[in-house]
Chain A
Amino acid sequence: MSIAATNSVVLSLEGITKRFGALVANDNLELVLKRGEILALLGENGAGKTTLMNILFGHYVQDEGVVRIATADGVLQTLPPGSPGAALASGIGMVHQHFALAENLSGLDNIRLGTEGLLALGGGSAARKKVQQIIAESGLEVDLDRKVAALTVGEKQRVEILKALYRNVRVLILDEPTAVLTPQEADGLFTVLRRLAANGLGVIFISHKLGEVLAVSHRILVLRGGRKAGELVTANADRRAIADLMVGKSVAAVTRTAPVPGKVLAEFEAVSLKAGPGRARLDAASFTLRAGEIVGVAGVSGNGQAAIAALLSGLAVPDSGEVRIYDTPITKADPRALVGMGVARMPEDRQHDGVVGTMSVADNIAIEDVRSKDFARMGMIDRKAMRARADAAIKAYDIRCPGPDAEARLLSGGNVQKLILARVLERSPRIILANQPTRGLDVGAQSEVHRRIIAARDRGAAVLVISEDLDELFALADRFLVVHAGAVSDAGASEGLDRGTVGLLMAGHAA
């Protein structure tokens, strides 16, 4: 039945409940989006954001509740559940974190693809005119005739947004859109979103970065455990209040004392490494890691961070130049040797490289020293010793799991990271590589990880933190390195450094 509604509401989710077995992923959620509004949807992992968006798109069918969306003339209509086609037809558009673009087609063809039949491609001056008009209205500048493969990440994202706008969407959803952008590109995106909203588009902005949520949104909806934890008007909100709503308890801000740098423990001297699978090249990189100091590596992902991590993890050796650990050059790719030298390594992709999902928590904690005297005698494994260490680690690091024998795949991302911390920090390492240490973790787990890293530094460890989250780097790093296109530049002490400078270096401009 059509229901006449106030002109201004474009989307209304009413009493949405979705259960997966015993788990209630969405519990009686309400969400109202008005014309011209930017609504930030905020929540920890597992708070129910993704489930809610999947219901909106018809990928899931809700157990209770209705989705209503406005027609072109502003009348709210019920969206048939479980129908992605209906969701698209009713004017909902989504920009995913990972773009769905055909790399070998031009921007214009990508925009038209899916909306118009394949046979219609080619020619299309009417389509070009329409897209150009959208560009003029929104400020989404893109070269329409270049192949998408040749566009920057920011430009690709603009093509994605244009693709949605071309379909005359009334509701645009962006899933963590800034994860791949430099701060300057993110600012550009925010300007565009404000303009689009001013023209009447309703925008839902999914994020876990508090800073940008405060910068761009009008209203903030915080989810926690599948329920609405709170709703704030952005103008009246602050970081602390939002963080508290997200985790449901007061998050102690991590404090950091001034560093006391000691002697050089690790040194990169003119290190070059050519690109490999999933790894961009590194070009004559030189830097040092000192005891008692946290060095942060900033950069848009894919600019050489993976090469630095591979070298310091013992997975690669330099093609030229030298990596020295305590003055010993590393000449063999041997992770075990580095572990033996007291290097703690936290992998970037902790599910893929950090744990063997089908092995137990105890096995995964012991995996780096399975051959050590602690766990092996004459080639036989001492399961009792492994379990004892796991029991201690579960307590000390608050790893939430059914027990040491539970398979690691059953753990949440935050608990996997705690498991890895327990594995690498237990041996009091002198050098620590923390690669994206809190990516995908909730605020509570984040501050826990940060506290552990700072404690290790205070104990005298040299720490290298690689992160795409500038907030995290500013919270942790004593000194900044910035990577761009394989080159490492020293941005100096974090004290007095401003984001703009880092952002310019990330984009390849000299500071």
Chain B
Amino acid sequence: MSLRLEPRADASVTLKILVSFGAALAALVLVAIPVLFAGGSPLTAYGLIVQGAFGSMFALSETLNRATPLILTGLAAAIAFRARLWNIGAEGQLYIGALAAVLVGSGLLHLPPLLMIPTVMLAGFIAGGLMMVIPTVLKQRFGADEVVITLLLNFVVILFVQMLIEGPLKDPLSMGWPQSVPLLAEAKFAKLVPRLRMHWGLIMGVAAAIFLWVVVRKTVLGFEIKAVGENRAAARFAGIPVDATMLKVALLSGGLAGLAGVSEVAGVKGYLSADLSPGFGYSGIVVAMLAGLSPIGTVFAAIFVAAVFVGADSMSRATGISNYLADLVVALSLLCVLVGGFFLRFRLRYERAATPMAGA
């Protein structure tokens, strides 16, 4: 008897939904094992996570506040990965975007909020975008691997930002804390609900997701991105400008990550510091993969990941189980979704040895 994989012609919608639920269920069952080891009850722990993430207006606000940058970095990864451009540098692009926002929005310009906010956003978008255009040009010109370059640029950017906020950009009123001069009030995003942290960055993220959905599904650019991503040789043969398309994707991807930085500075902190992002750039990759690179799906995946982290903190306080459980939930969900995607593309077949051995 042997086990064989055969490609599936097409997966039905029912099967796709079943596989998604199966993956979620499998992840929850797998996470239950370490929870039991830690001496907790999995059901209680899950209940507390859900409650901690959505149980009150405050909890919901915290979750959505956390989801906001993840939506943007998730979209950055999704659009790049669709074109098979491996942008692992959203973290650095986020910081560069935040830096641009501070440079433009902390006193260089004085505009009313209606002009100031778009200007700050544009600055962050362009800065983040250029940060991704550089590795893409290096890839096209010299065949340099964009995975390595974007990943390493993250460290370069963060050290550069640290240098600036310890030096020329340091806020003289910060009592020695390494943080930049603050944004002007005109450049800051308004809160969505008074006294809660969630802000207009969330609306921007959702709008960006809808915009990207339109790009992917309805535009010539989306068509060309798909062709370039799925079969570069055929796209080139058909006359699609492969390099130009990749540069557009790079600008869009880096720009979205840059906007995540703008959003954190203008919506949450009000200034730039070296702890602006606890790895939003990297988590964006997980978010995009969980969403199957779908722009709309990215919004939900970002809320899911944010909820797990916010909820796990509160669960941890109540039960004493480490909040590292959040990393475990997210990681196992990703693995289960990837395995599920595999079963959507292939079916398993058992083959029996039909004829008994004879004559040997």
A binds B: yes
Closest residue of B by beta carbon distance from A310 = B237
- State A314–B240 Cα separation when bound (angstroms): 12
Are B220 and A371 in contact, with the CB atoms below 8 A? Answer: yes
Cα-based distance from A65 to B218 in the complex (angstroms): 53
Asked if B2 and A354 sit within 8 Å, CB to CB, the answer is no
A354–B219 CB distance below 8 A: no
**Is B237 touching A359 in the complex (CB atoms < 8 A)?**
no
Tell me which residues across on chain A come within 8 A of B352, comparing CB atoms: 61
Q: Are B2 and A82 in contact (CB under 8 A)?
A: yes
Cβ–Cβ contact A381 & B223, under 8 A: yes
Verify A1–B220 contact, CB threshold 8 A. Answer: no
**Docked pose: A507 CA to B217 CA in angstroms:** 52
The residues of A that contact B218 with a CB separation of less than 8 Å are 380-381
Kindly state whether residue B348 has any CB partner on chain A within 8 Å. no
In the complex, whether A234 has a CB less than 8 A from a CB of chain B is no
Asked, given contacts A82-B2, A356-B227, A356-B234, whether A379 binds B354 with beta carbons under 8 Å apart, the answer is: no
| Cβ contacts under 8 Å, B235 to chain A | 356, 367
Q: If the complex has contacts A356-B231, A358-B230, A368-B238, are A1 and B359 also in contact, measured as CB distance less than 8 A?
A: yes
CB pair B219–A379 under 8 Å, yes or no, is yes
Among B9, B357, B358, B359, the one with the most A-chain Cβ atoms within 10 Å of its Cβ is B359
Is the pair A63, B359 in contact by a Cβ cutoff of 8 Å?
no
CA distance A270 to B340 in the complex (A): 56
With a cutoff of 8 Å between Cβ atoms, the chain B residues found around residue A80 in the complex are: 357-358, 360
- Interfacial chain B residues near A345, Cβ < 8 Å: 237
Question: Of all chain A residues, which has the CB nearest B218?
Answer: A380
Contact between chains at B230 and A379 (CB < 8 Å): no
Give which listed residue, A3, A63, A337, contacts B354 with CB less than 8 A.
A63
| Interface residue? B159 (CB, 8 A) | no
- Provided the pairs A2-B359, A63-B354 are in contact, do residues A359 and B230 lie with their beta carbons within 8 angstroms? yes
Q: Is the CB of A335 within 8 A of B234?
A: no
Contact among A20, A61, A380 with B6 in the assembled complex (CB-CB below 8 Å): A20
CA distance A282 to B293 in the complex (A): 43
Interface 1/0 per residue, A353-383 and B, CB below 8 Å: 1111111000100011011000010011100
Cross-chain contact A335 with B239 (CB below 8 angstroms): yes
* Structural contact, A370 and B359, CB atoms closer than 8 A: no
Interface residues of A in 328-343 (CB under 8 A from B): 334-339
Pairwise interchain contact B360-A353, C-beta atoms closer than 8 A: no
Give per-residue flags for B7-51: 1 if the beta carbon is below 8 A from chain A beta carbons, else 0: 001100000000000000000000000000000000000000000
Chain A residues with CB under 8 Å of B354's CB are 61-64, 81
B359 and A3 contact, CB distance less than 8 A: yes
B353 part of interface (Cβ distance < 8 Å): yes
CB contact under 8 A between A81 and B230, given known A1-B359, A367-B238, A371-B220: no
Q: What chain B residues lie within 8 Å of A48 (beta carbons)?
A: none
With the chains together, A353 CA to B222 CA distance in Å? 20
* CB-based contact A379/B358 at 8 Å: no
> With A20-B6, A61-B353, A379-B220 as given contacts, are A353 and B237 in contact (CB-CB < 8 Å)?
yes
Q: Is B224 an interface residue (CB 8 A)?
A: yes
B214 and chain A: residue at smallest CB distance: A380
Interface residues of A in 219-255 (CB under 8 A from B): none
A61-B2, A356-B227, A359-B226 are known contacts. Are A347 and B237 too (CB-CB below 8 A)?
yes
A82 touches B353 (CB 8 A): yes
A385 smallest CB distance to B (angstroms): 13
Interface status of A140 (Cβ within 8 A of chain B)? no
Contacts of A313 in B (CB 8 A): 237
Instruction: Please indicate the chain A residues that have their CB under 8 angstroms from the CB of B223 in the complex.
Output: 363, 370, 381
Q: Are B220 and A380 in contact, CB atoms less than 8 angstroms apart?
A: yes
**What are the interface flags for B201-232 relative to A under an 8 Å C-beta threshold, 1 for contact and 0 otherwise?**
00000000000000000111111101100110
Could you tell me which residues of chain A, from 34 to 68, have a CB within 8 Å of some CB in chain B? Answer: 61-66, 68
Q: How far is the CA of A367 from the CA of B233 in the complex (A)?
A: 13
Report whether B236 and A367 are in contact in the complex, using a CB–CB cutoff of 8 Å.
Answer: no
Interface residues of A in 1-53 (CB under 8 A from B): 1-3, 20-21
Known: A3-B359, A61-B2, A367-B240. A81 touches B353 (CB 8 A): yes
Contacting pair A357 B230 (CB below 8 A)? yes
Give the chain A neighbours of B360 by CB distance below 8 A.
Answer: 77-78, 80, 86
Cα of A409 to Cα of B224 in the assembled complex, Å: 18
Residues 318 to 360 of chain B near chain A (Cβ within 8 Å): 351-355, 357-360
Q: Which residues of A contact B226 (CB under 8 A)?
A: 356, 358-359, 363
**Bound form: Cα–Cα A495–B91 in Å:** 68
Chain B, Cβ-Cβ closest to A336: B239
List the A side residues contacting B357 at CB < 8 Å.
Answer: 78, 80
Residues of chain A within 8 A (CB-CB) of B9 are 410
Find chain A residues with CB under 8 A from B227 CB: 356, 359, 363, 367
Q: Do the beta carbons of A314 and B353 come within 8 Å of each other?
A: no
Given A61-B2, A61-B351, A62-B354, check contact A352 B234 (CB 8 Å): yes
Instruction: Please give the distance in Å from B231's CB to the nearest CB on chain A.
Output: 4
A354 touches B234 (CB 8 A): yes
Contact with B along A363-407 (1 / 0, CB 8 A): 100011011000010011100000000000000000000000001
Contacts of B222 in A (CB 8 A): 381
Is there an interface contact between A315 and B234, defined as CB atoms closer than 8 Å? no
Residues of B within 8 A of A363 (CB): 223, 226-227
Given A80-B360, A356-B231, A66-B237 contact (CB < 8 Å): no
B216–chain A nearest beta-carbon distance, Å: 11
Q: Within 8 Å CB of B353, what residues of A?
A: 61, 81-82
- Contact mask A274-315 → B, CB, 8 Å, 1/0? 000000000000000000000000000000000000000111
- Between B352, B353, B354, the greatest number of chain A beta carbons within 10 A of the residue's beta carbon is seen for B354
Contacting residues, chain A, for B234 (C-beta < 8 A): 352-356, 367
**Interface positions of A from 66 to 84, Cβ below 8 Å from B:** 66, 68, 77-78, 80-82
Contact B220 A376 (CB under 8 A): yes
Contact A314 B239 (CB under 8 A): yes
Which B residue's beta carbon lies closest to that of A363?
B223
1/0 per position for B172-215, CB-CB distance to A under 8 A?
00000000000000000000000000000000000000000000
Distance of A342 from chain B, by nearest CB (Å): 13
Compute how far the CA of A380 lies from the CA of B223 in the bound complex, rounded to whole angstroms: 10
Would B220 and A66 count as touching, CB distance under 8 A? Answer: no
B residues less than 8 Å from A65 (CB atoms): 355
Q: How far is the CB of A309 from chain B (nearest CB, A)?
A: 10
A359 to B359 CA separation, bound complex (whole angstroms): 51
Q: Which residues of A contact B (CB under 8 A)?
A: 1-3, 20-21, 61-66, 68, 77-78, 80-82, 86, 313-315, 334-339, 345, 347, 352-359, 363, 367-368, 370-371, 376, 379-381, 407, 410
**Chain B interface residues (CB < 8 Å from chain A):** 2, 6, 9-10, 218-224, 226-227, 230-231, 233-241, 351-355, 357-360
Extra contacts besides A3-B359, A64-B354 (12): CB < 8 Å: A20-B6, A61-B353, A78-B359, A80-B360, A353-B233, A356-B235, A358-B226, A359-B227, A368-B238, A370-B223, A379-B220, A381-B218
For this complex, 22 residue pairs linking A to B, each with C-beta atoms less than 8 Å apart, are: A61-B351, A61-B352, A61-B354, A62-B354, A62-B355, A78-B360, A82-B353, A313-B237, A336-B239, A352-B233, A353-B234, A363-B223, A367-B227, A367-B234, A367-B238, A370-B224, A370-B240, A371-B220, A380-B219, A407-B10, A410-B9, A410-B10
* 4 nearest A-B residue pairs (beta carbon): A336-B239, A335-B239, A78-B359, A77-B359
